[in-house]
Amino acid sequence: MTIDELRRRVAEFLAANDPGTTDRTDFLRARYDAGLAWVGFPVGHGGLGADQALQPEVDRLFAGVGAPDNDPAANGIGLGMAAPTILAYGTEEQKRRFLGPLWTGEERWCQLFSEPGAGSDLANVSTRAVRDGDGWVVNGQKVWTSQAQNARFAILVARTDPDAVKHAGLTYFLCDMTDPGVDVRPLRQITGEAEFNEVFLTDVRIPDTQRLGSEGEGWRVANTTLNNERVSIGKGGERETGMIGRVARTWREHPDRRTPQLQERLLRLWVEAEVARITGVRLVQKLADGQPGPPEGSVLKLLFARNAQELSGLEVELLGEDGLRYSDWTMVRPTHVEFTGRDAGFRYLRAKGNSIEGGTSEIIRNIVAERVLGLPAEHRADKDRPWKELAR
């Protein structure tokens, strides 16, 4: 499909669905049904089977006429992580059930992966899923769960075979967050916000029809999610968006506080941010069937965390005493993750989490070392031992 054909489809759709008079949800549902949601997805699942690189043009055309969007910031986990994983491993019934309301924003998603004893070592999760008839009973605790308080569904990794080695005994599920056994509790961060949550699962019943992938295939499915997460976090957008845009604006607004040393640092970071952005654009263009390459996504996420922390630190230095002021430390539960919101102090504190969420920078460096540079893998003493025998 050419870009001209795609533009024609959008024009025909807008002629039949006036964004100014059509109900927002009806408009988004119609856009999904027309294949103009994810143009790279298959026909019947929000797409046209077209080149994924055409998606920005579609979004630009809809935004240009003031059409409603699906509030992507509020459902980043669903759009950036759950959807491509469901596309890759879901049954046709699962795709039909979940992808539509996910894209329209009628059902938001969260991620139940990390645990108090399984963060960087995700394969060490101890949340158990035990087979019971035509379903599973899940018990355990998850932590650092963004947007759990607003989510209808969650992508969940649980241990189904404690006798297997830790990477082999996991299974991936789609969990209904409205189940009475799901208890969501806020976790207050250094910013004052409770953006994250801890989630307790007590006798939560999940039907086997909401298992994604085969039993014991959870690690493989989860890696698809994690790879997409790193691309989603690190890919960036237009030039001078994100942290570099915020800091560049502060720089232009305060010429009296510039120094040659700060200028040199800012120029270096601006170039690095632009290189990362262009790399992200190239990576998105290479995506096929929702399967991003682990090395590229990991490199982008690593660069994103480092640049955000260095840039936010530079901004605080540039502002001097003003950079130390913090406007509000009231605990709120935001509707979406905002890396660059509010003031310089917030940006500096929030950026500390960038090297932890989505995979710690230490783990990602291992991935890059092993899969990009071809260096020997670290020794793993627990690699061939059953999970139940490992010390915890």
Is the residue at 74 inside a domain? Answer: no
Residue 294 confidence (pLDDT) = 56
Is the residue at 378 inside a domain? Answer: no
Mean pLDDT, the chain, rounded, equals 91
What DSSP designation does 212 have? E
Q: What percent of the chain has pLDDT over 90?
A: 70
pLDDT tier at 298 (50, 70, 90 boundaries)? confident
**82-91, 291-300, 358-367, 369-378: which has the highest mean pLDDT?**
82-91
Quick check: 250 and 257 in contact, CB under 8 A? Answer: no
pLDDT tier at 288 (50, 70, 90 boundaries)? very low
* 209 and 263 both lie in a single domain: no
* Residues identified as active-site: 229
Alpha helices in the chain (DSSP H): 3-16, 24-33, 55-64, 76-77, 83-89, 92-104, 218-234, 242-253, 260-286, 294-319, 321-324, 344-350, 361-371
pLDDT tier at 289 (50, 70, 90 boundaries)? very low
Residue 293 confidence (pLDDT) = 54
Residue 291 has pLDDT above 60, yes or no: no
Is the residue at 77 inside a domain? Answer: no
Residue 233 confidence (pLDDT) = 67
Q: How many domains does the chain have?
A: 3
Q: Is the backbone of residue 274 left (phi > 0), alpha (psi -120 to 50) or beta?
A: alpha
Domain span at residue 259? 221-371
Tokens 């890919």 belong to 235
Residue 73 has pLDDT above 90, yes or no: no
pLDDT in tens, 89-141: 999 999 999 999 999 999 999 999 999 988 878 899 999 999 999 999 999 99
Is the residue at 53 inside a domain? Answer: yes
* 227 and 362 both lie in a single domain: yes
Is the residue at 317 inside a domain? Answer: yes
Residue 250 has pLDDT above 90, yes or no: yes
pLDDT tier at 144 (50, 70, 90 boundaries)? very high
* 177 and 230 both lie in a single domain: no
Residue 287 confidence (pLDDT) = 58
pLDDT tier at 75 (50, 70, 90 boundaries)? very high
Domain boundary, last residue among 216, 240, 269: 216
Residue 236 confidence (pLDDT) = 61
What DSSP designation does 44 have? T
- The helices-and-strands tally (H runs, E runs) of the chain is 13, 8
Domain boundary, last residue among 14, 37, 69: 69
* 239 and 280 both lie in a single domain: yes
Is the residue at 168 inside a domain? Answer: yes
Work out the angle between the directed axes of helices 294-319 and 260-286 (0-180°, nearest 10): 160
Q: What gap in Å lies between CA 299 and CA 303, rounded to an integer?
A: 6
Q: Which two tokens stand for residue 66?
A: 């003031």
Residue 198 confidence (pLDDT) = 97
Pairing of strands 196-207, 135-142: antiparallel
Strand partners, 118: 115
Backbone angles phi, psi at 200, to 5 degrees: -105, 130
Residue 290 has pLDDT above 60, yes or no: no
Residue 211 has pLDDT above 70, yes or no: yes
Is the residue at 76 inside a domain? Answer: no
Question: What burial letters (b/e) apply to 126-149, b meaning 16+ CB within 10 Å?
Answer: bbebeeeeebbbbbbbbbbbbbbb
Domain boundary, last residue among 150, 184, 216: 216
* 198 and 241 both lie in a single domain: no
* 62 and 203 both lie in a single domain: no
**CATH number of the domain to which 355 belongs:** 1.20.140.10
Tokens 């790193």 belong to 230
Residue range 166-192: mean pLDDT, rounded: 95
* 257 and 232 both lie in a single domain: yes
* 260 and 323 both lie in a single domain: yes
* 182 and 254 both lie in a single domain: no
* 195 and 210 both lie in a single domain: yes
Is the residue at 156 inside a domain? Answer: yes
* 201 and 275 both lie in a single domain: no
* 363 and 241 both lie in a single domain: yes
